[in-house]
Homo-oligomer: A and B are copies of this chain.
Amino acid sequence: MAAIAVLKNSMLKPSLCRFAGTVNAAVFQKYGNPTNVLRRQKVQLKDVSKNDVQLQMLVSSLSRYDMDVVLGKNPQPFTFPMIGGNEGVGVVQKVGEQVSSLKEKDTVMLIRPYKGTWAEQMVVSENDVLPVPEGLSAESCSVLLNSAGIAYRLLNDFVSLKSGDVVLQNDASSTVGLAVIELCKARGIKTVNVVKDCGKGKNDLCQPANQVGGDVVIRESQLQSNDFQKILSDLPAPTLVLNARGGAVMTGMSAQLRKGVVVTYNETTQSPFSVSASMLMSGDICLKGFNMNEWLSGASVQDVKSMVDELAELVKSDKLHLGVKKTQFSELEKLPLTHLCPCFQTYVQSMDQ
């Protein structure tokens, strides 16, 4: 099972902060290799205004996406210094005078991007958080939106999928890809899954996709094989095609498509893909993009809650698995973070002085 890293904050006592109103946070002053540019430093906590809540963070996730933000690969420009981290779970410590939906000691998850969750404490708007669903661990909640959440939106926002439909995806061994497989399986939708060629034996990237129930799992190098062409032609044409790879992989996949909505939500090859007129003109194809941060920025709290509740039910009924494997945060600096493989290692944040 692929796992997203989780930074676990062991400092639950704010009194440990050396200066009033300052907290430890992982900050970067410029884009670059996270091991070079990320620094643990004191930052000033902003005042709790009338619609704000102050949170004591319990866990904050560390994903490939978080790394891309630090590396400067995100198209949105930021103002430095910036605190890293997009997802996390915390306990409400203080509420502003007009906050009605939350109270002290509520455990909540961050639902807006770029809020800087790699901090001991943070002050955000009441509308930036959601109470964690009952029965879901803080760790699971802190990785939910950018794995299963993306998968959920991809499967719900573009086409109306019904049991028996086919979804074709690349990067199927990523956390999003594996969640796509499980969410499809729960709805009777078939998945055709293309995984990267890297990894052999125990690390073969076909394994996780097979384990969670992918109907067809192949490597990128098999995309042009006769066997795969046969498999594709025996199935209904994919209704939805999910692209997180781009580059030559997606160019090759596109050339085989004649129908369906093709949604790009990532580009892990860091290369664009080619689109020919014959592909666009000789079938019923539509290419779109999906950006989870844009969706999260614009969604109502209720929209996010509906999705989170549905995903939580699937987790509780053992149909959706959010793998989180923990190791020490102190090991973070030893790892080649810029070359994170889709199967992340996981870290527990100790933030010791």
Contacts and interface: CB of A to CB of B under 8 A. Distances in A.
Contacts of A280: 264, 287-289
B291 A282 contact: yes
A149 interface: no
* Copies of this polypeptide in the complex: 2
A177 to B, nearest CB: 15
A265 B277 CA distance: 7
Contact of A290 (B246, B274, B276, B281): B281
A276 B76 CA distance: 15
A277 B267 contact: yes
Contact of A285 (B246, B251, B275, B288): B288
Contacts of A283: 289
Interface in A146-187: none
Contacts of A266: 277
A246 B75 contact: no
A225 B240 CA distance: 38
A272 interface: yes
Contact of A281 (B273, B277, B285, B289): B289
Given A286-B286, A286-B287, A288-B285, A267 B278 contact: yes
* Residue with the greatest number of chain B CB neighbours at <10 A, chosen from A246, A274, A281, A285: A281
Interface in A70-110: 75-76
A281 B272 contact: no
Looking at A251, A277, A291, the one whose CB has the most chain B CB atoms below 10 A away is A277
Q: Give 6 closest A-B pairs by Cβ, nearest first.
A: A280-B289, A267-B277, A287-B287, A272-B276, A281-B289, A272-B274
11 contacts: A246-B276, A264-B280, A267-B276, A267-B278, A273-B274, A273-B275, A275-B275, A279-B289, A281-B291, A281-B294, A287-B288
Given A281-B294, A287-B288, 7 more contacts: A75-B278, A264-B280, A265-B277, A267-B277, A280-B288, A282-B289, A287-B287
Interface of A: 75-76, 246, 251, 264-267, 272-283, 285-291, 294
